[in-house]
Amino acid sequence: MTLARIRAMAAAHQLAVLGGFATGPDDGLPRDTKTFLLLGPREPGFWPHLQAQPEWGNPDPVDRWSRRVIGTMACDLEAKALFPFGGPPYHPFYKWALKSGRCWDSPVRLLVHDTAGLFVSFRGALALKEAVELLPVSTKPCDTCTNKPCLAACPVGALTPAGYDLPKCHAYLDTQEGKDCMTTGCAVRRTCPLSLAYARMPEQSAYHMGQFHK
C-alpha cells in the first residue's frame, strides 16, 4: 500500500488526503493502527460531485455519502473508517488534525490548514494497519500572514483569540446583516488568504451554515 494509491482512490471521489501521522498509544485509535490519514474535500469540484451522488436529496446527504465512500475505501484497504459526526462519543478530530503536521490553531482558535485555510473540514479518516508514507510536514501559514485579517473579520466579534462566542454568532445570523454569512459562508473563514485560494463554492458554505444555524 502506498500514499499515492490512497490519494488516487480519494481523488476519484473528490476527496484529498489533508494530513496524517504515524500513530502512538495515546492517539485514541485502534491498537493495530500504524498510520492515520485525514480526508476532506478536494477543490475545485467537490460540491458539484457530491450533489450528483445518490445520497443527494435524502436526509443527511453529506454524512451518508461520507460513510458510504470512506467506508468503502476502508474496506478496500483493510482499514477502519472514522468520522467527525455520528456521536456521542465523538472522535477527537481537532486533536488529530493538530498532530497531522498540516493543521494548526489559528489566531481565532479555528483550525487552519496549509492549503484549505480556515475552510478546512474533514469528511472522515482512515486508520491503517500498515505504515504508509506521509505528506511532508508544512509550516504554520499564520506565522507569515502579516495582516491576519481573520482577527477583525467577524462583524460582532464572536471569533477572537479568547475563543468562540456561540450565542453572539447565532444572534447575528438571525439579523438582516447576518444573511451575508448565511449565504456565502462565515466572514472570518472567507477572509483567510488561503481560504480565498481554496475554491470552495459559496453554495457549499451556505448549505453548512444552514445546517449549523437550524
Return the percentage of the chain with pLDDT > 70, whole number.
Answer: 100
pLDDT in tens, 23-51: 999 999 999 999 999 999 999 999 999 99
128 close to 36: Cβ distance less than 8 angstroms: yes
- What pLDDT shows up at residue 89? 84
**What mean pLDDT comes out for the span 73-95?**
94
According to DSSP, the residues that pair with 38 across neighbouring strands are 19, 125
**Counts for the chain of helices (H) and strands (E), in that order:** 10, 8
pLDDT at 214 over 90: no
Q: What is the pLDDT of residue 201?
A: 95
Sequence ranges of the domains in the chain: 3-212
Mean pLDDT rounded to a whole number for the chain: 96
**Alpha-carbon span 186 to 64, nearest angstrom:** 24
Q: Does residue 87 surpass a pLDDT of 90?
A: no
* Distance set, CA 77 to CA 34, 46, 67, 89, 202 (Å): 13, 23, 15, 25, 33
Would you say 41 and 121 are in contact if contact means Cβ atoms under 8 Å apart? yes
Region 148-154: what's the mean pLDDT? 96
pLDDT band at 1 (very low <50, low <70, confident <90, very high): confident
The number of C-alpha atoms within 13 Å of 107 and in the hemisphere containing its C-beta is 19
Q: What is the pLDDT of residues 89-147, one digit of tens each?
A: 899 999 999 999 999 999 999 999 999 999 999 999 999 999 999 999 999 999 999 99
Round to whole Å and give the CA distance between 112 and 140. 8
Enter the pTM of the model.
Answer: 0.95
